[in-house]
Amino acid sequence: MSAHVSTITTSVKSKDRAQNEPAVVRWLLIAVALIFLALFLALPLAAVFSQAFEKGLSVYLDALREADTMSSIKLTLITAAFCVPLNLFFGVTAAWAIAKFTFPGKNLLITLIDLPFSVSPVISGLIYVLIFGLQGWIGPWLQDHDIKIVFAVPGIILATIFVTFPFVARELIPLMEAQGREEEEAALVLGATGLQTFLRVTLPNVKWGIIYGVILCNARAMGEFGAVSVVSGHIRGMTNTVPLHVEILYNEYNYTAAFAVASLLAFLALITLVVKTIAEWKVRQQLENH
Amino acid sequence: MKLFKRHNNVLPGFGITLGFTIFYLSVIVLIPLSALVFRTMGLTWGEFISTVTAPRVMASYKVTFGAALIAALINAVFGVLVAWVLVRYKFPGRKIVDALVDLPFALPTAVAGITLATIYSSNGWVGRYLEPLGIKIAFTPLGITLAMTFIGLPFVVRTVQPVIEEIEVELEEAAVCLGANRWQTLTRVIFPMLFPSILTGFALSFARGVGEYGSIIFIAGNMPMVSEITPLLIITKLEQFDYRGATAIACVMLLISFLMLLVVNLLQKWSRRYAD
């Protein structure tokens, strides 16, 4: 027994020596890392809320109650209501095809799905102007039929779909690949239909992965600025999303109102981080149990 | 259909899901992106070259790529440090700090932009202490670098972190047994293992910085030739109805992001060269 204990202590000691820097170095590194993060992450976050409440709660609430703010919130919610379900449906479909089957060109397909992440947001907006704008491919036809896409709500939705395109798919593909096909095959052998198999076997297995993808997709859909800025036309109360409204208020030197509206987005970001952390933890747990 | 042999796969729905995936990808991503390329091809070669090499455009490349390079370097150094500290050391609040690293992904860029501009302006929280020292960040190229550092921060941390988690204790023990001191173990054993992921994170952070718009325009000052980034120049051209100019410059940017994507893919392949 005592011999056993002493082996453990030696192994802990040697692990300590092999894996750890001296305490002074350790605390120094922690301090430098934390100062860096405090300066770059915590400070901006604190500044948003501090600026928003600088003139008190009533000014803050008035800024949020303003008609243009309300309409920008409405437009942002509408945009997310289109983008998130569409990209969720696409993500699940793509992950099923890519993760559960083998076919040539699979890696190319994955790279193409990731493409919107490497395109500048400004270009993401520009491409829709080039197609639907007045000088665009089908712009003149659209004008003849009195259909507005760019500088109107449909353009904002399209550009947002583009920038949030990969979120769900890129989260689900590796997760579904890691889980393999055995469970689905067993369900089919036991007589389940394809849809039953998907709903009762696959879906519960990837539930947290879907939540992870959806929350990130939603955060970006509600917060996108560059792409939406190009296609919006900036019509107050009509084609202004919340981030665009923040820009307008800021450029009018209405800082308190700008930060009040921005604080809504910062709050959304915090919720996103919390849900994301939980989902990440659950996914890890599920993979380990698998 | 010989091409799509099903390898004894009994799962249903391959045709319809793959079909929808390719359809949706084409409608949302591929066709719109190809519009950019086709529109650029409408220009003559001479027009194209003179547009994308005009002095103001060249100056914007210099600002954009220069700032992105410096930001990515800062992130490479501090990102590795943060990842190391988060994986290897225990300290109170570690989980919260870990979650907070993703803030730049979650915080809308416009919010980040106005906040950074406010903090670093001459009477802001940090700016007021830098001003007497003669350091101006807001409305200078330095501000651009700062904003790019902010938005690129999670990339290096998140690519390096899992690699550090997977380092096997035995490797470090072996190094110690063979007589290496801690510094030697770190520089000769651990760093080479992390290097591909550091490069990947660096490339991702750089690529993000080059394309970034929202968080930069508020802090940049946006002076032509001095602090004007290329994405802003594209928007300026669009607002002046110079569609050809905007398209040509955007095409150059797109080409560069494809190149970066290729580099990242190759790097990832290289980093996994021992995995299989």
Q: What is the DSSP string of A238-274?
A: TS--HHHHHHHHHHTT-HHHHHHHHHHHHHHHHHHHH
Number of domains comprising chain B:
1
Contact between B81 and A44 using a beta-carbon 8 Å cutoff: no
Residue of B nearest to A122 (CA): B231
User: Higher pLDDT residue, A262 or B175?
Assistant: A262
What the block records as the tokens of A125 is: 């907006």
B 24-63 near A (Cβ less than 8 A): 24-25, 28-33, 35-36, 39
The beta-carbon neighbor of A101 closest among B9, B241, B246 is B9
Q: Does B253 touch chain A (CB under 8 A)?
A: yes
Q: How far apart are CA A70 and CA A77, in angstroms?
A: 11
Q: Give B223's DSSP letter.
A: -
pLDDT above 70 as % of chain B: 96
**Cβ neighbours of A48 in B, within 8 Å:** 111, 115
Q: How far is CA B2 from the centre of its chain?
A: 40
The beta-carbon neighbor of A41 closest among B6, B14, B103 is B103
Query: Tell me, what's the pLDDT at B75?
Result: 97
Contact between A41 and B104 using a beta-carbon 8 Å cutoff: yes
Residue of B nearest to A261 (CA): B111
| A-B contacts (CB, under 8 Å) | 286
For testing contact with chain B, the best of A28, A124, A130 (most B CBs within 10 A): A130
Per-residue confidence band for B210, with pLDDT thresholds at 50, 70 and 90: very high
What the block records as the tokens of B118 is: 């406010």
Q: How far apart are CA B192 and CA A255, in angstroms?
A: 48
Phi first, then psi: what are they for A281, rounded to 5°? -65, -45
Query: Tell me, what's the pLDDT at A126?
Result: 94
Domain presence at residue B178: yes
Per-residue confidence band for B182, with pLDDT thresholds at 50, 70 and 90: confident
pTM: 0.90
CB distance B137 to B127 below 8 Å: yes
Domain presence at residue B43: no
Q: What is the pLDDT of residues B225-248, one digit of tens each?
A: 989 999 999 999 988 888 899 999
What the block records as the tokens of A195 is: 């849809």
CB distance B244 to B49 below 8 Å: no
Query: Tell me, what's the pLDDT at A238?
Result: 78
For testing contact with chain B, the best of A118, A165, A249 (most B CBs within 10 A): A118
User: Higher pLDDT residue, B5 or A262?
Assistant: A262
Domain presence at residue B196: yes
What contacts A223, CB < 8 A, 6 or more positions away? A242, A243, A265, A268, A269, B106, B107, B108, B109, B110, B111
What contacts A88, CB < 8 A, 6 or more positions away? A168, A210, A213, A214, A217
Q: In CATH, what number is assigned to the domain containing residue B79?
A: 1.10.3720.10
Domain presence at residue B70: yes
pLDDT above 90 as % of chain A: 72
Domain presence at residue B13: no
What is the pLDDT averaged over residues B62-91? 95
Across chain A, mean pLDDT equals 89
Residues in chain B: 276
What is the pLDDT averaged over residues A157-175? 95
Å between A26 CA and nearest CA of chain B? 7
What type of residue is A41? L
What contacts B220, CB < 8 A, 6 or more positions away? B139, B141, B143, B144, B147, B227, B228, B229, B232
Contact between B110 and A262 using a beta-carbon 8 Å cutoff: yes
Buried b (16+ CB within 10 A) or exposed e, B14-38: beebbebbbebbeebbeebbebbee
Query: Tell me, what's the pLDDT at A68?
Result: 92
**Cβ neighbours of A219 in B, within 8 Å:** 105-106, 108
Domain presence at residue B32: no
CB distance A84 to A221 below 8 Å: yes
Across chain B, mean pLDDT equals 90
Per-residue confidence band for A233, with pLDDT thresholds at 50, 70 and 90: confident
Domain residues for B66?
48-275
Q: What is the pLDDT of residues A47-99, one digit of tens each?
A: 999 999 999 999 999 999 999 999 999 999 999 999 999 999 999 999 999 99
The three-point CA angle A193-A196-A202 to 5° equals 120
User: Higher pLDDT residue, A20 or B249?
Assistant: B249
pLDDT exceeds cutoff 50 at B7: yes
Q: Could you identify the residue written with the tokens 């991702």? A: B204
Domain presence at residue B1: no
Domain presence at residue B5: no
